[in-house]
Amino acid sequence: MKSLPRIGALYEEIDGHFDAELDNAVAKGDTAAAQRIEQKQLLNDQAYFVLCWGQLEAEIDEACRTAIRQRKASTNWDIRRGFDFYDPDDKRLSGLSFDRPVALILDRDSGPGKPYARVMAYYETRNKIAHGRLEATRIDVSAVVADFYLIQGALTR
Amino acid sequence: MPAQTVLEELTRNELTHEHVQQRVDEWAKRIEALYREVESWLPRGWTARRGASVAMHEELMRKMAVEPRQLPTLELVHDGAVRVKLRPYGLWIIGTNGRIDLVKGQQRYFLLDHAGTFEAADWHVASASARRDSKPFDGAWLRAMLAA
């Protein structure tokens, strides 16, 4: 996730400019301008959220490939046998849907609020945005970036 | 188990009118409790008073037919002038359980509740220009900010 700090910093800079513009509009009593700026912030949040998600997704993908490689290389068949089917060098990881590789590196049964559940909830949010159903709520991208680092630390290779 | 975060609320598709109404009511109580706490932290020479209220009618409220709600703002006064304003910004923000903006001159701080939904508030503060560097919001932080 080497670009995540730069993406997060740029988001803060741009959203800070919007906040200043919003303050000016509110101070002038220009409701229409304030609403336009709020709409820009909503859209900007989502654009940067998707950019940040790409960083986490790449990390998850690589962690999954590493986990498969390590287990396929095991001399212990009990460890190896569940992974022989997967090709870690396959561009699409043998056509697995996203929840499957995530379940290889995070505990799917760990419950609400845990990293697996958070990743899948972020993934759903990302899909909504990417498929044109924009969120009508703001995203605290800075908080999301911090959470992505927590998730990164929980990935079990 | 009810959704513990805004992210869960928005992705579980279990929202009801009652849930959203309860969240709005609880948000209003959290704001009141925070203002009382801020007032209790003020150093000598500072007073607090309620400012003009702000209307809350977020997307989920509209979606679930919950009536708009007026929320109080707080003004911190020193030497007869308003030096600091606290204004509720929003409740449903992915990544936080509500945000109140604290403005002092050109400086803006975000008060962010890190707690889960319907849990005891866990307020943190971050400068708008360094949002990832948040600290617990307490009396020591407030008095240092007022003195700066």
Mean pLDDT value across residues A138-152: 96
Of all residues in chain B, what percent carry a pLDDT higher than 90?
89
Q: What percent of chain A has pLDDT over 90?
A: 75
Q: Which pLDDT band, with edges at 50, 70 and 90, does A94 fall under?
A: low
Best A127, A137, A145 residue to mutate vs chain B (most B CBs within 10 Å): A137
User: Which DSSP category does A95 fall into?
Assistant: G
- To probe the interface with A, which of B1, B10, B94, B127 has the most A CB atoms within 10 Å? B94
Among A123, A140, A145, most B C-beta atoms within 10 A, so best to mutate, is A140
Instruction: Check CB contact of B117 with chain A, cutoff 8 Å.
Output: no
Please report the pLDDT score of residue A85 as a whole number: 79
pLDDT over 70 at A96, yes or no: yes
For B8, which residue in chain A has the nearest alpha carbon? A121
Q: What are phi and psi of B146, to 5 degrees?
A: -65, -35
Q: Is the pLDDT of residue A34 over 90?
A: yes
What digits encode the pLDDT tens for the residues B106-126? 899 999 999 999 999 999 999
* Of B108, B32, B21, nearest in space to B57 by CA: B21
| Residue B22 at interface with chain A, using a CB cutoff of 8 Å | no
Q: What's the pLDDT tens digit per position in B22-67?
A: 999 999 999 999 999 999 999 999 999 999 999 999 999 999 999 9
State CA B43 to chain mean position distance. Answer: 21
ipTM over cut 0.85: yes
Cβ within 8 Å, pair A118-B7: yes
What pLDDT sits at residue B14?
81
**Could you state, in order of their start, the residue ranges of all structural domains in chain B?**
6-147
A138, B90: Cβ pair inside 8 Å?
A: yes
Count of CB pairs separated by less than 8 Å, A with B: 71
Output the average pLDDT for chain B. 95
Write down the pTM of the prediction: 0.91
**Inter-chain touch B94–A138, beta carbons under 8 Å:** yes
| Sequence letter at residue B62 | R
Q: Using a CB-CB distance cutoff of 8 angstroms, which residues of chain A are in contact with residue B103?
A: 23
Calculate mean pLDDT across residues B129-148. Answer: 94
**Is the CB of A30 inside 8 Å of chain B's CB atoms?**
no
